């Protein structure tokens, strides 16, 4: 779990300091990170090997769920501010829900847990 978290921290540091990301772009970065984490989770599911793979799959899944919920909370807050005429709409806010929906769809594919359906609906409503 720590290794995946450290990698995410390193990526955030590189994006923030190296590329100067700020504001709404972090929502897109979070959605892309969720997509990559769940893609790796799915790829590891096809592999057989030591118990370490199962440990990494759980870590990838946990971090991706955490990132998805943070992105959705941020998008919901931004949408509330925009509808309240306090915030500004941007291209990142329009694209992020689509990326997040893709990430949630990748994770939910073939897994019929109803909570994931609600998260996908939340994603559609926050966009």
- Please determine, for residue 127, whether its predicted confidence score (pLDDT) is greater than 60: no
Tokens, residue 115 = 């909570």
The average pLDDT across 69-84 equals: 78
Output the pLDDT for position 92.
Answer: 63
* Full-model pTM: 0.69
Output the pLDDT for position 52.
Answer: 79
pLDDT band at 118 (very low <50, low <70, confident <90, very high): low
φ and ψ at 20, to 5 degrees?
70, 35
The share of the chain scoring above pLDDT 90, in percent, equals 0
| Residues of the domain holding 118 | 2-126
Q: Which residues of 108-119 are buried (b: 16+ CB within 10 A; e: fewer)?
A: beeeeeeebeeb
Structurally, the chain folds into a number of domains equal to 1
Output the pLDDT for position 76.
Answer: 79
9-61, pLDDT tens digit by residue? 888 888 777 777 777 777 788 888 888 888 888 888 887 777 778 888 888 88
């Amino acid at each position: 779990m720590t290794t995946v978290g450290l990698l995410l921290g390193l990526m955030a540091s590189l994006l923030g300091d190296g590329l100067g990301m700020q504001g709404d772009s972090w929502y897109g970065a979070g959605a892309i990170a969720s997509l990559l984490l769940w893609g790796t989770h799915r790829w590891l599911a096809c592999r057989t090997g030591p118990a370490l793979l199962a440990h990494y799959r759980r870590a990838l899944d946990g971090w991706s769920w955490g990132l998805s919920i943070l992105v959705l909370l941020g998008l919901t807050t931004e949408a509330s501010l925009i509808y309240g005429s306090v915030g500004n709409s941007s291209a990142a806010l329009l694209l992020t829900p689509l990326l997040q929906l893709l990430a949630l769809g990748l994770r939910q594919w073939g897994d019929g847990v109803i909570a994931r359906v609600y998260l996908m609906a939340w994603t559609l409503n926050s966009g």
